[in-house]
Amino acid sequence: MADQIILKPDADMTFWDKHRLSLLLIITVLIAVTLTVISMIAYNVSGTAQLDLSRPGLSSVSDKVDKGDKITEYSSFGPVNKDSINEFTKLYDEQAKKAKAVDAFNGDPLNPETLEFDVNANE
Amino acid sequence: MIRVLTMLAVVAAVTVLLGLGVQTAHAQSNSLTPEQVDRIKSNCTSIKSTLNQLHVSDALLRVNRGQLYELLAAKLMDPFNARLSNNRLDSKATSAVTVSYRNAFDSFRNDYKAYEEKLSTALKIDCVNQPELFYTTIEQARVNRTKVHDDVLKLNRYVDDYRTAVDDFLLNFERVSQ
């Protein structure tokens, strides 16, 4: 027996029957907005924003990120003897030297004198 | 009833006066001389340009340094500690330094975030119309940047401490092996 489509007369339709499509669209938009807001909060709170060099004004340096500086991973497995420890210290010293090579965030570039708004600077 | 109302009025008045006092003290501590205000207003564009350059260079520095510090722990310290543990050797000293190193790295990350947010806020302030607020925000960013530098020094110290812990381990290991 073929399925029969039963159409309700307009008068019998409830409010939700009449606005089903609109409701679907509104809920979809609300879900999308909520998820976007949650994502943006997570992006800002987690500190990811500070690592994002594609942000406006920072894209000029995005290609200057060290990409070729790969660290050889030391294996967690294997024997511990003088040779394996020396192998480790060799790898470690190499990276430690790089880590300490730059005295990052030193100086005082935000000093009023440096920024030239300290009246005593030119006196 | 009248007594209660009078007391409430007195409490309210004292609260308002105290609030005003605190605000005035705060404003005075952050107040700039008229010369400084003039200087900020007249050099506004060049100051903002300098801050912009600093913002960009520090962002790159943060990414590169952070990557290096993170990999040092993930690819060298952790695997070495794990190897010692896997061989049932004493890894307490090296593990303790790694924990301190990771804590210092967390502080570095959080302090940089605080610094970057303050600097970004300063860059958004109209220094011609709000020179005092601009100055205060830069001062806060300055304090936060000093903290980031302190974190870097701390991390470097832990890098050395870890190396010392490995040397100590090697000494003990050789002594026991003989």
Q: Which of A50, A93, A114 sits opposite B62 (nearest CB)?
A: A50
User: Span B78-96, mean pLDDT?
Assistant: 95
Residue B160 confidence (pLDDT) above 60: yes
pLDDT at B25: 41
Alpha-carbon distances of A71 from A88, A100, B71, rounded to whole Å: 12, 15, 7
pTM of this structure: 0.79
Q: What is the ipTM of this complex?
A: 0.77
- Which of A100, A115, A120, A122 would you mutate first to test chain B, the one with the most B CBs within 10 A? A115
pLDDT in the model for residue B156: 96
pLDDT digits (tens, 9 = 90+) for B3-44: 766 666 666 666 555 554 444 444 444 578 888 889 899 989
**What distance in Å separates residue A38's CA from the closest CA in chain B?**
19
Residues in Cβ contact with A64 at an 8 Å cutoff, skipping those fewer than 6 apart: B60
pLDDT at residue A64, as a whole number: 87
Which residues have a Cβ under 8 Å from the Cβ of B24 and sit 6 or more positions away?
A: none
In CATH, what is the architecture of B36-177?
Up-down Bundle (1.20)
**Considering only CA atoms, which of B73, A57, B45 is closest in space to residue A49?**
A57
Question: Confidence band (pLDDT; 50, 70, 90) for A75?
Answer: very high
Whether A61 and B57 lie within 8 Å, measured CB to CB: yes
pLDDT of amino acid B35: 86
- Across chain B, mean pLDDT equals 87
Mean of pLDDT values over B156-173: 95
Kindly state the DSSP code that residue A65 receives in the 8-state scheme: S
Q: Average of pLDDT values for A96-100?
A: 92
Q: pLDDT value at position A11?
A: 72
Asked whether A53 and A61 are in contact (CB, 8 A), the reply is yes
How many CA atoms within 13 Å lie on the side-chain side of A10?
0
Residue of B44, B68, B133 to mutate, testing the A interface (most A Cβ within 10 Å of its Cβ): B68
Nearest C-alpha of chain A: how many angstroms from B9? 43
Rounded to a whole number of angstroms, the CA Rg of chain A reads: 31
- Tell me which of B63 and A119 has the higher pLDDT: B63
At residue B20, the pLDDT reads 47
Q: Which candidate, B131, B40, B30, places its Cα nearest to that of A115?
A: B40
Put simply, whether B114 touches A (Cβ < 8 Å) is no
Question: Which of the four pLDDT bands, split at 50, 70 and 90, describes residue B1?
Answer: low
* Per-domain boundaries in chain B: 36-177
- Mean pLDDT over residues A20-49, rounded? 95
Task: Report the 10 Å Cβ neighbour count for A110.
Answer: 23
Highest-pLDDT range among A12-21, A55-64, B102-111? B102-111
Q: What tens digit of pLDDT does each residue of B102-142 get?
A: 999 999 999 999 999 999 999 999 999 999 999 999 999 99
Question: Residue A114 above 90 pLDDT?
Answer: no
Please state the rounded mean pLDDT for residues A94-120: 86
CB A28 within 8 A of CB A22: no
Which two structure tokens, joined as six digits, stand for B108? 């570095």
Instruction: State how far the Cα of A85 lies from the Cα of A82, in Å rounded to an integer.
Output: 5
- The larger pLDDT score, comparing residue A17 to residue A117, is at A17
Query: Which H or E run contains B174?
Result: helix B131-177
Instruction: Specify the pLDDT at position A5.
Output: 74
From the list A108, A101, A105, A99, the residue with the least C-alpha distance to A71 is A99
Which pLDDT value is given to residue A117?
Answer: 73
For residues B173 and B89, the answer to whether their CB atoms sit within 8 Å is yes
Residue B112, Cα to own-chain centre: how many angstroms? Answer: 5
Report whether pLDDT(A91) > 90: yes
DSSP string, B104-144: HHHHHHHHHHHHHHHHHHHHHS-TTT-HHHHHHHHHHHHHH
Instruction: Mark yes or no for CB contact A80/B84 under 8 Å.
Output: yes
Q: What percent of chain B has pLDDT over 90?
A: 72
% residues pLDDT > 70 (chain B): 84
